[in-house]
Structure 1
Amino acid sequence: MGTPFISLLEPTRLDGYDSSLPHDQQRDTLPPVFIDAMAAREAVFVQEQGIPLSHEYDEDDARSCHWVAYASVNIRRPPGSPGGGGTQEPGPEPEPEPGEEGQETTPAARSPETRSVPIGTLRIVPFPHPPHPPPGARYANNVLLPSSPPSTSTSTSTSTSSSSPLPSSSPPQTAQTPLERERQQSALPFGPDRRTTYHDGREPYVKLSRLAVVPDFRGLNIATQLWVAARRWLEEHPDYFNPSVAELGMDQLRVGAVGDIPRWNGLVLCHAQESAIGVYERWGFRVDQAMGKWYEEGIPHFGMFARLDIKRSDPKV
């Protein structure tokens, strides 16, 4: 394998992406880098972890930055096929058998070519974000599943059967908390969240997600190279995701002063699978104990935060 290289795809329209189809059956008008990101994600999350294919693509993909790591590998083609065709699995060139050193290899006997294949990916999702998952919650396809109703004994059901139940068309109403009301009244979805160990509930943060390295290329620091590339880009573009007053206007933002406009100050969150906590800790992330544990697609997750050292230069007049 040659030295891996990394490509960045900034937020772009993904019109026409069909979440029911694998990456290699999508329209050829979609960005190739995103198709490659999905190839790596499908290899890990769908084929390896058993997450439904239709759950892998979501509405955050079009507004996110995607980094994809590639490796240059040799593709061995069997002789006698058109153009050396019949592409086999990528792999390193085989070592010569004893006695083959110096023996001439003709194109008809072997027709290798070098190709770049996606071997890993991650994305950075800009703010705003949905509320932090409640401890113990379960999600499928980014949808919070209802909690199981408590079981009732026979005696309990008998004693309550004489009472008049609520009509099915009038479910019980749940009073909104002050936090829920404040979030609902927010002009843009920058409303407040619950306070956790490392998040005050209001500061904008970006989210590191969909980190995946295909199995054959693990143990080569591919994940670390991806995060280093993403971190460096974030540190060099600290204002990239901040809302533009020129485009949105103060009235639409409903802020009283420029200082009230949401601004990213280096806070990064990841929803880490329990098995990957050690990887994120080596990168400087810390488990947010107050967020608790929840489940996404049946897999236990924990919230982890890190803060990047971003530097802004004052504009020159």
Structure 2
Amino acid sequence: MSSQSSDIHVEVQPPPGSVVAPNGFPADPHPKNAPQIFLDAMEVRIKVFCDEQKCAVEPELDVDDPKSWSWVAYQQSLGSKVRVPVSTLRIVPPPHPPHPNSFHDPDEEPYMKLTRVATMSHARGQGLNKLLMNHAFDYLVSQPERVSSEWRGLVLTHAQVSVEGLYAKLDFVTDDRLGRWDEEGIEHLGMWKRLSLPATTG
């Protein structure tokens, strides 16, 4: 919970599995039997990426969703019991397909992929993206064995070029080897961040 936003609550949804796409892909972005937190994440994603940024609805729920972890920030008005989803992000564990520009490093270590970072327009400017990233990264660092036995702290995000500077302030570093590419008419690039995992003994 954010100290400056006492009305913001964060929830995590572990990988929901095939329930989000029981008939394969393309899949209904509002799967009937999916967990509520997942449905809330999808609500934010569709409103931001599809309604606002005009990306296609059909591929929004994709093959990564069944295996991914989602974090959702809820806003609750004072005196109200209703919590409204206002921000979300997704963490996709390895393995991953080739990079969009087909760059390949045979020695590349397994990484987590930060994707689907979205905040409703009326809730922007409150630091919710950073809040959710802190929650997600703290969770990953505190129990890495739950998300991937082979992961050693490396995180990749495919950022929209327009927010490259914002990710840089969060210690992500642009990888020029990955180039730039178009996703749904929006230019993207790859950025990395290294999280420090606790030392293990064995």
Deviation, 1:21, is: 4.6
CA contact 2:100–2:178 (8 Å) conserved in 1: yes
Residue of structure 1 equivalent to 2:160? 273
User: SS where residue 209 of structure 1 aligns?
Assistant: strand
- Which position in structure 1 is the counterpart of 2:127? 221
User: Which whole-Å CA distance do the structure 2 matches of 1:231 and 1:276 have between them?
Assistant: 19
Measured after TM superposition, the shift of residue 16 of structure 1 is: 5.3
Would you say the 8 A contact 1:238–1:312 is kept in 2? no
- State the match for 1:236 in structure 2: 142
**2:104 pairs with one of 180, 183, 194:** 194
Aligned with residue 189 of structure 2, among 289, 302, 312: 302
Report if aligned partners of 1:20, 1:53 keep a CA contact under 8 Å in 2: no
Partner of 2:93: 126
- 1:78-227 aligned within 5 A: 113-134=80-101, 194-195=104-105, 201-227=107-133
2:19 counterpart SS class: coil
Match of 1:13 in 2: 17
Distance in 1, Cα, partners of 2:154 & 2:186: 25
Show the counterpart of 1:44: 48
Deviation, 1:291, is 0.9
The one-letter amino acid of 1:283's match is L
Describe the shift of the 1:304–1:36 C-alpha distance in structure 2 as closer, same or farther (beyond 3 A): same
Contact 2:29 2:61 in 1 (8 A): no
- Does the Cα contact within 8 Å between 2:67 and 2:92 map onto a contact in 1? yes
Runs of 4+ displaced beyond 3 Å: 16-23
How far apart are 1:47 and its partner, in Å? 0.5
Deviation at 1:14, TM superposition (A): 4.0
Partner of 1:146: none
Q: How far apart, CA to CA, are the structure 2 residues paired with 1:16 and 1:240?
A: 20
Q: 1:47 to 1:205 in 2, by over 3 A?
A: same
- Paired with 1:290 and 1:6, the residues of 2 have a C-alpha distance of 35
Matches of 1:120 and 1:21, distance apart in 2: 21
SS of 1:275's partner is helix
C-alpha displacement of 1:63: 0.3
Cα distance in 2 for residues equivalent to 1:242 and 1:21: 28
Query: How far 1:2 moved relative to its partner?
Result: 5.0
Larger radius of gyration: 1
Q: Distance in 2 between matches of 1:203 and 1:61?
A: 22
How far the C-alpha of 1:313 sits from its partner, in A, is: 2.9
Retained in 2: the 8 A contact 1:127–1:241? no
Unaligned runs of 5+ in 1: 75-111, 136-192, 244-262
* Superposition TM-score, scaled by structure 2 size: 0.88
CA contact (8 A) 1:67 1:121 kept: yes
Hey, what's the Cα distance between the residues in 2 that align with 1:21 and 1:194? 33
Over the matched positions of the two proteins, sequence identity in percent amounts to: 37
Distance 2:28 2:81 in 1: 27
Q: CA RMSD in A?
A: 2.1
Distance 2:8 2:48 in 1: 19
Q: 1: CA distance between counterparts of 2:19 and 2:146?
A: 23
- For 1:116 and 1:295, how far apart are their aligned partners in 2? 35
Quote the residue 1:283 is aligned against: 170
TM-score w.r.t. the length of structure 1 is 0.58
Task: Figure out how many residues of one structure are paired with residues of the other and give that number.
Answer: 195
| In structure 2, distance between residues paired with 1:73 and 1:22 | 27
